[in-house]
Amino acid sequence: MTISGRVLVVAGSDSSGGAGIEADIKAITMMGAYAATAITAVTAQDTYGVHAIHEMPGLFLARQIGLVLDDIGADAIKTGMLVNEANIIALSRLLAARDLRIPLVIDPVMLATSGTPLLPAGAVGALIKLLMPLAALITPNLPEAETLSGIPIGSLEEMVEAARILRGLGAPAVLIKGGHLEGMVVHDVLLHNLEIEVFSSPRIDTPHTHGTGCTLASAVAAGIAQKMTVRDAVDRARRYVQAAITSAPGFGGGHGPLDHTADWRSISP
């Protein structure tokens, strides 16, 4: 496989390997792109939840980002767990100071799969004000979309409404993931170029969904780094995640990891 596209991931590390930087690297690699990282925090976690978080100093985070950009470079930047408001401010200032035109994919990680808070409520405003206007795409799940948009979401129609609200806050493209809604079919809503597209797929009955959000957003970022359209990058990434959930290895006693080696080509577009 020839490597095409460089993705710099700014996110936290997951010691269980299912989410965070570890999932990001696996997903980007499986998409045929190159992953570089800037780690915001190191976590102690397993399939039951996040037990401890050790935050990286802001200056050290900025150092990681700067060195990667100056040497290897990036065709896309993807953010995951940003941990605190200081990191959001530092990242936004760094991007503005460098006047970078690199597409930014924001996965606004706020809660772990287990429900552990991963971003203080006070930092949400900074995320909306400082980073969302810089993004090429944001990829919230339903709870995150509710927090960012300020409206409750209990239906496909409300997902569309929330996507339009988020676009009004500065994000040119929005992908709201509908896995938290009940039903036998999962709907994801993409708002791009002022058009709404709904992606639908059968729900897979499994507890092994740890890291789906990180995996999806990183796979999308890889596609964007490879000059795919946002729509095509989302389509490929969704098929990859479906395949990865379907063949999840069943590790751990809680929410287990995906099979990041899964072949997304096995899922029909």
Question: Which of 214, 215, 223, 256 is flagged as catalytic?
Answer: 214
Q: Decide if 176 is inside a domain.
A: yes
pLDDT in the model for residue 232: 97
Q: Decide if 55 is inside a domain.
A: yes
Question: Which of 5, 40, 177, 215 is flagged as catalytic?
Answer: 177
Active site residue 214: yes
Largest CA distance in the chain: 47
Give the number of other CB atoms < 10 A from CB of residue 167: 17
Name residue 119's amino acid.
L
pLDDT in the model for residue 1: 67
Entry pTM: 0.95
Active site residue 209: yes
Closest CA to 179 of 148, 149, 215: 215
Q: Decide if 1 is inside a domain.
A: no
Burial category of 50 from C-beta neighbours within 10 Å (exposed 0-12, middle 13-18, buried 19 and up): buried
Question: Which of 12, 212, 223, 256 is flagged as catalytic?
Answer: 212
Active site residue 40: no
User: Residue-wise pLDDT tens for the chain (269 aa)?
Assistant: 689 999 999 999 999 999 999 999 999 999 999 999 999 999 999 999 999 999 999 889 999 999 999 999 999 999 999 999 999 998 998 888 877 789 999 999 987 766 777 888 888 999 999 999 999 999 999 999 999 999 999 999 999 999 999 999 988 999 999 988 888 999 999 999 999 999 999 999 999 999 999 999 999 999 999 999 999 999 999 999 999 999 999 999 999 999 999 987 776 66
Question: Which of 209, 215, 223, 256 is flagged as catalytic?
Answer: 209
pLDDT in the model for residue 110: 87
Q: Decide if 243 is inside a domain.
A: yes
Question: Which of 80, 213, 223, 256 is flagged as catalytic?
Answer: 213
pLDDT in the model for residue 120: 85
pLDDT in the model for residue 182: 86
Please give the Cα distance from 24 to 28 (Å, whole number). Answer: 6
Active site residue 116: no
pLDDT in the model for residue 268: 62
| Overall domain count for the chain | 1
Q: Domain of 158?
A: 6-266
Question: Which of 80, 178, 211, 223 is flagged as catalytic?
Answer: 211
Residue 252: which CATH number?
A: 3.40.1190.20
pLDDT in the model for residue 269: 63
Contact between 28 and 77 (Cβ < 8 Å)? no
Q: Decide if 136 is inside a domain.
A: yes
Please give the Cα distance from 222 to 259 (Å, whole number). Answer: 18
Active site residue 2: no
Active site residue 79: no
